[in-house]
Structures are given as C-alpha cells and as structure tokens.
C-alpha cells in the first residue's frame, strides 16, 4: 500500500467512525455535522454542489426537512450505520479514488455500481419483463457470485444492485450479503418472498436495501404481476417498515398507469408504508414480443410530464424520486457501460438491464478484463449520444447509435428482443419512428426545463 493510499484509508476510517458515532445517538440533532461529513465524502464539484443544494432544501423546505429527520429518527440504527459506512464512506468516498487508480492503471473505466442477475428464476410472470426471455435453467453458482463480488470490491465497487428473476429466490445471496458486510446491496424484488423471517434477517444484516416492485393501484399491479400480488407487496412493505429497514419502490411506468404512480394518493401510501425512495423506469420494448409491447410505452408528452412530476415530488413529499430517463441531464445522459453495467445469469457482461448485447462472458475471466473490451470503450467514446440529455438512450432515442456500435464491435444479442433490434426491419422502423416523435417534444422540454444545459462533464466519465 502506498503512502497516499494509507492516508486515504486512515481518513476514511476516521470519517466513518465519526459518522457512526453521530448516528448512534440523537442523529437528528447533528444534521449539520452529518452533512459536513457527507460533503467531505465526495470529491467532484458537481457532487459537492448537490450536497449543498440538499442542505439548502433541508433548511428551506419543510418536506425535505421532515424527510431527513424521519430517516434519522426512525431508521433501524444498524441499517443507518451500514448505509453511512458502506455507501457514503466506501462506495462514494473511498471507492472513488480506488476506482480511478485501477482505471488509470488498466486504461479503462471502473463503474460505480454493478448490476447482477444471479438467476432468472421467478415465481411471477409479469407482462413485459425484460428478464422473461433469459434461460430459467441456469443460475450463477455461489462460487462465481462470490468471485465476482469479491473482484468488484477489490476494484473499488462497493454498491451492488441485485436483479433477476426474483433476487430472494437464491438463498445463498444472504450469505453473500453477510460475507461482504462492507458493501451495500440493493435487490429489486417483487416482494412476495419477504416474510417475517426474511425481514428479521435483513434487519440483522443492515446492508441490504430492497426495492419493491409495485405498478400503482391494486388493479394495475395484479394485471401485470398476477392476482393477489398487490396485497402481498403491501404486507412486505409493512414488515420492512415495522423494523425500520430502509426500502423503496420500483415501478414500470406505462401510458396506462403513469397518472396512478405519480398521484398524491399513491405517493402518500408509499410514505405511510415507510418507503424512502421510488424508482421510475419507463416501460421499454424488450422481451418476447417487443413490437406488441410498444403500445404500453409512454407517449412523448407523458414521458416529459413524468420527469416534471417526479422533480416536484422530490421537493414536496417525504420521499426521494429517481426517474431513470428524465434525470439524465443531471448525470450526463446515459450511464450504461460507464457508471454501471449488468451481469446476466449466463455471466454475459451487458451495458444495461435493457440493452441485452455483449461481447464478453465472465466465466473464468477477471472482471477488470471485461471492462477493457472495445464494446464498452466504443459505448463510452460516443456518450453522450445526443446533445439533448433528455434523449439519452441508444435504444429508443438514438437507435442508429446502437446499430452502429453493435456492427462495429461484433456484440451479440443475448435474447430475442435484442436480436430483433438489429435484424427485424419492422421493429427497427418502429424504433426510428419512436425516436423521431419524441425528439421535438424533448428538445422543447430541454430548453424550457433545463435551459439547454446538462452535466456534460460527467457525460464523458
């Protein structure tokens, strides 16, 4: 270990120790000191400005003030301390310099987070699920998941999103969470396997923050996920909330449920259950029949309005919203292949959970080697794909980019929907039309809402 690394590790240890002590007793009375520590944990000016902005909101906006106070007072202390140590201390602070050094030494980019799908097995069959066309027979073995997570941590990646299939189908993942207790894990779950025993285990672990899928109303959820699922999900949220386990909600937003999932009634229900955040993912044309499923996608006007609504919720309600597409101007457009990537259940390394293309399989291959591939380098070199960062996606906003990248790098499709994107003329024409119809609406919104400005520095990684 170099002298610089030794100093950074000591500084990290001191920061985390100080933060944990503040969180141990009366954290709600030490907000200013906690914000100061969080600001020290980030290095770039953009992130520091965001911390300052949140602190300003805390002092000026009652909803933000109450939200942060509620988190500090009512979150399970073990979970609160693990979040501060693992996400703030390790992933956001210590991990940055570690990832940068590894990236420089290897002439590549080490992502902030890895998404992994240990299995595509699931007890539900949801309409339009991106995981629906993967093999249900093959799981990544415990030994391989252990290797991949361990290598990720060695590279400075301390934040892992767990997908599927259903993440809680694989019981060995609980052993992974326990072994890597200095990392933060976020499983996106249908919630049906979270019972009292599981909730107790998550409280004991402290480093697992579930995102529970719900599509709005009982009718919307049961239509997409199956009869009775909504009630089961509500019970799972109650079990997590009763134990003070931080959790969030995730919704696939369609043209038919967008009003429901952004309504005051729905948001207030999530807050009452104890949810701390909600992720909005616009419905994407993936799966076995992507052309047919395109009828579920948001209209251009709905897509823009979703962003406006989520930004309003963020500053008026006691919950944090993440709009995967409409928040793109804040993070430099598309972050796939740059700040995150996806390992599917066959261990193919994909840039995104919706972009099912790969050139490398990780079986027997070190993680760092896969990041160096021409496929990922080509993706990063082209970002942002569009000056208008409200048009970030290479699949639905700039489909010509996706076709060029695949053709140039020889990336192979990993499922039927991806194969259709490069070989099915009808699907290609539909995607082109989708992008053309969205462009003028997005261009106007980018000027009106963002004054034509975004985080272009972050766009290049």
Note down pLDDT in tens along the chain; length 461 residues.
565 666 666 766 777 778 778 777 778 888 888 888 777 766 666 667 777 888 888 888 888 888 889 998 899 999 999 998 899 889 988 888 899 999 999 999 999 999 999 997 876 665 555 555 555 567 899 999 999 999 999 999 999 999 988 899 888 999 999 999 999 999 999 898 999 999 999 999 999 999 998 888 787 777 767 778 888 999 999 999 999 999 999 998 999 999 999 999 999 999 999 999 999 999 999 877 899 889 999 999 999 999 999 999 999 999 999 999 999 999 999 999 999 999 999 999 999 999 999 999 999 999 999 999 999 999 999 999 999 999 999 999 999 999 999 999 999 999 999 999 999 999 999 999 999 999 999 999 999 999 999 999 888 77
pLDDT at 127: 56
In 293-303, which positions are buried (b, 16+ CB within 10 angstroms) versus exposed (e)?
A: bbebbbebebb
What are the CA-CA distances from residue 93 to residues 1, 152, 196, 201, 326 (Å)? Answer: 18, 16, 34, 28, 26
The pLDDT value recorded for residue 131 is: 53
Report the alpha-carbon distance of residue 166 to residue 162 in Å, rounded.
Answer: 9
The partner residues of 186 in beta bridges, in order of sequence, read 161
CA atoms within 13 A on the CB side of 319: 29
Could you give the 3-state DSSP secondary structure of residue 60? helix
Q: Where are the domains of the chain?
A: 3-94, 108-461
pLDDT at residue 129 in the model: 58
CATH number of 108-461: 3.20.20.70
Given phi > 0 = left and psi -120 to 50 = alpha, else beta, which region is 368?
Answer: alpha
What's the burial of 158, exposed, middle or buried (CB within 10 Å: 0-12/13-18/19+)? buried
**DSSP-derived 3-state class of residue 55:** helix
Q: Residue 170's pLDDT is what? A: 87
Q: Is the pTM for the entire model greater than 0.85?
A: yes
pLDDT at 53: 80
- State the pLDDT at residue 205: 98
Distance in angstroms (rounded) separating the CA atoms of residues 304 and 21: 43
Cα–Cα nearest to 188, from 112, 110, 133, 126: 126
Listed in sequence order, the residues at least 6 apart from 202 whose beta carbon sits closer than 8 Å to its beta carbon are 194, 208, 210, 240, 243, 245
Length of the chain, in residues: 461
Per-residue 3-state assignment (H helix, E strand, C coil) for 120-175: CCCCCCCCCCCCCCCCCCCCCCHHHHHHHHHHHHHCCCCEEEECCCCHHHCCHHHH
State residue 163's pLDDT score.
Answer: 94
């Amino acid at each position: 270990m170099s002298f610089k690394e030794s100093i950074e590790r000591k500084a990290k240890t001191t920061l985390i120790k100080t933060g944990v002590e503040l969180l141990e007793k009366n954290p709600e009375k030490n907000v200013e000191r906690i914000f100061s520590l969080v600001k020290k944990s980030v290095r770039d000016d953009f992130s520091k400005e965001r911390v300052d902005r949140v602190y300003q909101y805390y002092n000026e906006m009652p909803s933000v003030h109450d939200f942060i106070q509620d988190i500090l007072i009512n979150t399970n202390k073990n979970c609160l301390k693990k979040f501060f140590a693992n996400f703030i201390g390790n992933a956001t602070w210590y991990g940055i310099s570690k990832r940068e050094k590894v990236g420089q030494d290897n002439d590549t980019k080490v992502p902030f987070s890895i998404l992994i799908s240990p299995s595509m097995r699931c007890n539900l069959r949801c309409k339009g699920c991106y995981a629906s066309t993967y093999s249900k027979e093959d799981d990544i073995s415990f030994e391989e998941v252990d290797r991949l997570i361990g290598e990720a941590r060695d590279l400075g990646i301390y934040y892992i999103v767990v997908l599927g299939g259903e993440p809680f189908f694989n019981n060995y993942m609980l052993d992974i969470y326990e072994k890597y207790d200095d990392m933060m894990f976020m499983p996106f779950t249908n919630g049906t396997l979270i019972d009292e025993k599981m909730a107790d285990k998550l409280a004991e672990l402290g480093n697992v923050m579930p995102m529970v899928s719900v599509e709005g109303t009982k009718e919307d959820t049961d239509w997409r996920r199956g009869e009775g699922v909504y009630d089961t999900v509500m019970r799972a949220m109650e079990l997590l909330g009763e134990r003070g386990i931080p959790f969030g909600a995730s919704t696939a937003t369609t043209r038919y449920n967008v009003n429901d999932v952004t309504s005051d009634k729905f948001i207030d229900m999530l807050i009452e259950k104890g949810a701390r955040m909600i992720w909005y993912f616009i419905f994407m044309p993936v799966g076995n029949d992507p052309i047919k499923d395109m009828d579920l996608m948001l209209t251009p006007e709905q897509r823009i309005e979703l962003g406006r609504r989520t930004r309003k919720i963020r500053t008026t309600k006691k919950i944090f919203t993440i709009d995967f597409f409409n928040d793109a101007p804040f993070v430099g457009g598309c972050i796939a292949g740059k700040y995150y990537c996806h390992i599917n259940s066959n261990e193919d390394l994909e840039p995104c959970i919706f972009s099912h293309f790969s050139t490398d399989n990780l079986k027997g291959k070190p993680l760092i080697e896969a990041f160096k591939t021409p496929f990922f380098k080509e993706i990063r070199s082209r970002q942002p794909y569009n000056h208008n960062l409200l048009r970030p996606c290479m699949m639905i906003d700039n489909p010509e980019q996706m076709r060029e990248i695949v053709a140039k790098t020889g990336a192979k499709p990993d499922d039927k929907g991806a194969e259709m994107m490069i070989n099915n003329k009808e699907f290609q024409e539909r995607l082109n039309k989708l992008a053309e119809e969205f462009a003028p609406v997005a261009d106007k919104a980018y000027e009106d809402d963002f004054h034509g400005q975004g985080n272009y520095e972050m766009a290049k990684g």
